[in-house]
Structure 1
Amino acid sequence: MSDRQTSRAGMALALAFFSGMLSSSLPTPLYPVYISLYGFSASQIMAVFGVYAAGVLFALAFTAKVHIRTSLYTRPLYAGLTCVLLSSLLMMFADNFMILILGRFVTGLGSGILMAYINRSLIKLFDTEVSNTAALTASASLILGQAIGPLITGEIVHRGFYALKTPYIILFILVVMSIFGIWRSRLVINRHCTTVTIERKSVGAQSYRGLCFRDVIVCCMAIFLSWAMASTFISQGPTLARSYFNVASVQLVSYSLSAFLLVAGISQIVMRKKHHYSSLKIGVVAQLAAVLLALSSVHTKAPSLLFISVMLEGFAYGAILVGAATIVNMVARQSQQHHLINLLYIVGYVGNWLPFSLSVMMDHFTQETALNAYLILCSILSTCIFLSAYFAVRCQNITGRIRKN
């Protein structure tokens, strides 16, 4: 296949993943609208928010156990996109709690299926040991989809232009385009996976040397806390900025969170040129610094320190994601255990639930006590991850020197 056909297939897969991730964040600005229109309680909205993650985890756990031949990868891609298409229709006409729950669960199923098989398809498509194009394409599509969704819906809600339907019409159109793109590139996506034995001897042997399941565990630990911190800033940040740090401007907080995701995207592009473990190490160090800065901002009640912490965490988020995804992709290919890719994202989505512990603590203690306890916990986790990454790299270097001799 030509490079042009491969690039076209990669773009089709990226658009499909972008659409799936867009569906995850698109309804976020609509939750207050649902509350005002239909009188939903806060717990009902939390259930609508949480059932999406349940759908993703179910899909990832299921696809990890299902073996599909590489020549048939378009089938689960069609299934995932069909779920997102169906969910857009359900959400477009949702006027009660049960339809919203069903719509979000189906969205989660579609996103989880796409997350599993688009990553596998990208690994097969960009079939080279030294390239992390597959990991960068997947992680960039994920972040852009999550970042752009609320911006689209927020602008539509602000202008009052059929707020409950227009976002899902846009999603519907994007999914149809994705299905068409996947269909046009079906021969490239379904082509037989070439052997990597020759490649290991010629190029990339150094980058593969010493990688094993131990490295996957380190990546999962880093992703867990990275996604937990991102979820903390996004879900609890606006409330805490107003009530604890006395930041009255809602727009300023919104722009800060958008900047967080923008920095995460830029750091992926920058870190792509680094060795995958260098990217992971830099991200882990930046994450530890971000957590400590956030803890300092709580003690000083300084919004400027919190802003720096958010930006630093954005950098860490992108660096860890592209580094961890590259390492897990390489180990999955080396061992032919593609369910490891699912494991990485399962751990990430479980990390999204860590901020619920902060909410529980704030219900029983003062905000300062809750924030201190939560950030001390995150600091301990971050330190453990830093030490794990340090010793993993050291073991990898020792193994490399032994094999050389």
Structure 2
Amino acid sequence: MSDIRSSWAGLALALAFFSGMLSSSLPTPLYPVYISLYGFSASQIMTVFGVYAAGVLFALIVTAKINIRPESYTIPIYAGLGCVFLSSLLMMFAHNIITLILARFITGLGSGILMAYINRSLIKIFDTEISNAAALTATASLILGQAIGPLITGNIVHHDFYKLKAPYVILLSLVVISTIGVWRSRQVVNKPIIPILIERQKIIIESINMLSFRDVIFCCMAIFLSWAMASTFMSQGPILAHIYFNVTSVQRVSYSLSAFLLVAGATQLVMRKKHHYFSLRIGVTAQLAAVLIALVSVYTISPGLLLISVMMEGFAYGAILVGAVTIVNIVARQSQQTHIINLLYIVGYVGNWLPFSLSTMMDHLPMKTALVDYLFICILFSISVFISTYISGRNNRAVQIRS
């Protein structure tokens, strides 16, 4: 019975996390619609997109400083779902840029709160039962939520079915269902943490050179550019596909963005079995290739090359994330400074604001010039990350962890 209750609680938490992540990507195909209906500029749309990251960052920083007892984890989860519910209502009836910005910031708050406490709850529920159930549940919810959002909205926009309302009606329904699910499983979610004796892991260093904070810096650099490029495709992709690459089908763009996130998720699963520096190196290599292909696609105005670049970026996104997180975890464990882990995600979310420079350039320069200048900046940064990672990777041989 305990296993069944834990499974139902895990399912309720997964649905809640899925709803939070769905809210982050659901509006993406609507950005061209907002531009055509309300005449928003590219920088305004980028602000709407970027303020979500600000909300997530704020929530993560605040939740890291607030100590909530494990027996009360449902309280912040309800608060996170409430933020998603409120932001969805605001998005449904938004007719100006201020309302959209406010709604997206509240969405970020909700996503950040859910990210913090649902992960903690999953670890608490599954810690003695299934070794990797918590991680797999959280990863699946995050990837599916981000991937399915553009798919849902893209199809709604394609069929012109209450395109500014229907996506959020679906989201509101999921939020209500997940809230009920969490409430029904509140006893399991709020169960106290039971101390468990865990065999200490032996860390075998095969090289004199241990991982250091320098490696963390390289990981942060890689994550910054990776998340910046992902943010570029998610925020500016639909607009550029329609205006610059003459891709008129919203469905095709939505499918491409969903495929991008699914490739990233699949890559994370595959790369979990690889050495951390191998994953990081192959990720930054794919990152450089993706940016170069994107530049060529701009010069040739080739939607096909752009699609290849997007898929390559999805692979890079997943590989870099796995390698960087593993390296940072090792350094945090060696130095006993767990706050280093937060640094990685903070830098990543800051990277979400880099595309704001592209939107600003698009408002003041010819579109091709803006794209070329932006991609050249990304290429230079990508080359520096590539060189730094390979030099550091050669100086740090395997650090293996075994029970």
Alpha carbons 2:16, 2:178 under 8 Å: kept: yes
Is the CA contact 1:140–1:268 (under 8 Å) kept in the aligned structure 2?
Answer: no
* One-letter amino acid matched to 2:200: E
Number of the residue aligned with 1:345:
345
1:5-404 equivalent positions in 2, closer than 5 A: 7-31=7-31, 33=33, 39=38, 41-42=40-41, 45-94=45-94, 98-123=98-123, 127=127, 134-135=134-135, 137-183=137-183, 184=185, 186-187=187-188, 190-192=191-193, 194=195, 198-201=199-202, 205-206=203-204, 210=210, 213-241=213-241, 251-299=251-299, 301-328=301-328, 339-397=339-397
Note if contact 2:226-2:320 (Cα within 8 Å) is conserved in structure 1: yes
Q: Distance in 2 between the 1:336 and 1:85 partners?
A: 38
Q: CA 1:60 to 1:169, structure 2 compared with 1: closer, same or farther past 3 Å? A: same
Q: Displacement, 1:109?
A: 1.0
The DSSP-based 3-state class of the residue aligned with 2:68 is coil
Q: Is the 8 A contact 2:46 2:359 kept in 1?
A: no
What is the aligned residue count? 396
Contact residue 18 and residue 141 of structure 1 kept, 8 A: yes
The 3 A distance-change label for structure 1 pair 315 and 132 is farther
Q: CA RMSD in A?
A: 3.9
User: Which sections of structure 1, spanning at least 5 residues, go unmatched?
Assistant: 401-405
Secondary structure, counterpart of 1:198 in structure 2: coil
Deviation by residue 1:62-115 (Cα, 9 ceiling, x = unmatched): 223333344543332222122112223333444555544433222121112122
- Superimposed CA distance per residue, residues 240-281 of structure 1 (whole angstroms, 9 cap, x where no aligned partner): 445555656655444433332232222223223334443333
Deviation at 1:21, TM superposition (A): 1.3
Q: 1:98 to 1:301 in 2, by over 3 A?
A: closer
Alpha-carbon distance in structure 2 between the residues aligned to 1:217 and 1:173:
42
Distance in 1 of aligned mates of 2:249 and 2:197: 54
Where does structure 1 differ by over 6 angstroms across 4 or more consecutive aligned residues?
Answer: 333-336
Q: Show CA shifts across 1:329-371 (max 9, x none).
A: 5666777765544433322222122122223334455544433
Query: Which shows bigger deviation, 161-170 or 329-338?
Result: 329-338
Cα shift at 1:326:
4.5
Secondary structure of 1:397's aligned partner: coil
SS at match of 2:91: helix
The farther-off stretch of 343-352 and 317-326 is 317-326
What are the Cα deviations for residues 122-180 of structure 1, in whole angstroms up to 9, with x where unaligned? Answer: 4555659xx77655544443332222122212323344444443322321222233234
The whole-number CA distance in structure 2 between the counterparts of 1:44 and 1:292 is: 27
Q: Conserved in 2, the CA contact under 8 Å of 1:9 and 1:189?
A: no
CA contact (8 A) 2:23 2:149 kept: yes
Question: Is the 2:29–2:250 contact (alpha carbons within 8 Å) kept by the matching residues of 1?
Answer: no
Q: Which amino acid aligns with 1:390?
A: Y
User: Any idea what SS the aligned residue of 2:397 has?
Assistant: helix
Q: 1:394 to 1:164 in 2, by over 3 A?
A: same
| TM-score, L = length of structure 2 | 0.80
CA 309–28 in structure 1, closer or farther in 2 if over 3 Å, else same: closer
C-alpha change, 1:254 and 1:160, in structure 2 (3 Å) is closer
Q: Which piece of structure 1 moves more, 58-67 or 320-329?
A: 320-329
Q: Which secondary structure does the structure 2 equivalent of 1:12 belong to?
A: helix
Gaps of 5+ in 2: none
Task: Find the aligned partners of 2:240 and 2:349 in 1 and give their Cα distance.
Answer: 23
The answer as to whether partners of 2:264 and 2:318 remain within 8 angstroms in 1 is yes
3-state SS of paired residue (2:199)? helix
Alignment deviations for residues 186-244 of structure 1 (CA, whole Å, 9 cap, x no partner): 5356542756762314xxx4599955654443332222111111222233334444555
Describe the shift of the 1:61–1:195 C-alpha distance in structure 2 as closer, same or farther (beyond 3 A). same
Contact between 1:29 and 1:154, CA under 8 Å: does it hold in 2? yes
One-letter amino acid of the structure 1 residue matched with residue 175 of structure 2: V
Aligned partner of 2:193: which letter?
H
Aligned-partner residue type, residue 315 of structure 1:
F
Report the identity percentage: 71
Structure 1 residues 191 and 329: alpha-carbon distance in aligned structure 2, compared to 1, 3 A threshold: farther
